[in-house]
Amino acid sequence: MEKKVIVLASGGLDSTTVLGIAHQNGEEILALSFDYGQRHRIELESAKKITQFYRISHKIIRLDLRQIGGSALTDEIDVPKDRNLNEMSSASVPITYVPGRNTIFLSYAMAVAETILSSVIYIGANVLDYSGYPDCRPEYLKAFEDMANLAMATREKNRPQLEIRAPLLYLTKGEIVRKGRELNIPFQLTHSCYDPNPDGESCGRCDSCLLRKKGFSEAGLQDPILYVKE
């Protein structure tokens, strides 16, 4: 058993696959979620159930990114629907992008890592089938890692450097679903939709739903979650 690792766990498909990977590696896991004012706050219920499924520690950090604004995920701005999947990652950054979100999340994770003396943070970032958010790219993650290693106190001599692990970075959505299947992750507990209805059913048309559906389709699997009836 290694020392405790931190996994950023949103309750979605990608971060749950990452949890499955860390779990399979036999690591002691602290799952970290953020209650940040997201309109799809229901994802936190998923994150909670998933950490219970894996019987791992779970910490939810409250912060309010609505104080910053500028995104359809935290403001009263409509979530775009039915976008063209092929244009997603190459076109301009969509309005669901939350300025600074990954940097703020990773900064908190870094602070927690420093406090519990952890030296590994897992994140589900990936750049093949994604919405084109700049703070998912490998060069960004590497730069964050470099910065973090200068930011942290050297209270403990010979402490290992902080490492940001993004095991899904170069997987397609189909490969992520296949990986999740192989690891038997609880797909039925995951939530991806940016704009669920009050019953928690997924819209099926936002970027996140479209990518998820593409993944299950490519993997030839049935998605067990509920979508709004058309």
- The footprint of a copy of itself (CB under 8 A) covers 59, 61-65, 67-70, 92-93, 97, 99-104, 107-108, 110-112, 114-115, 133-135, 137, 139-140, 143-144, 146-148, 150-155
Give the residue with the Cβ less far from a copy of itself, 134 or 224.
Answer: 134
Rg, the chain, Cα only: 17
Dist. CA 167–CA 110, nearest whole Å = 18
Give the residue with the Cβ less far from a copy of itself, 131 or 190.
Answer: 131
Residue 167: closest CA among 8, 13, 17, 5: 17
Give the residue with the Cβ less far from a copy of itself, 112 or 228.
Answer: 112
State whether residue 6 is helix, strand or coil.
strand
Secondary structure element (H or E) that encloses residue 31, with its range? strand 29-35
Q: How far is the CB of 155 from a copy of itself (least distance, A)?
A: 6
Q: How far is the CB of 152 from a copy of itself (least distance, A)?
A: 6
Give the residue with the Cβ less far from a copy of itself, 35 or 218.
Answer: 35
Secondary structure element (H or E) that encloses residue 144, with its range? helix 138-151
Q: How far is the CB of 156 from a copy of itself (least distance, A)?
A: 10
Give CA angle at 8 (29, 141), nearest 5°. Answer: 115
Q: How far is the CB of 148 from a copy of itself (least distance, A)?
A: 7
Q: What are phi and psi of 47, to 5 degrees?
A: -60, -40
Q: How far is the CB of 213 from a copy of itself (least distance, A)?
A: 25
Give the residue with the Cβ less far from a copy of itself, 21 or 166.
Answer: 166
Dist. CA 27–CA 6, nearest whole Å = 10
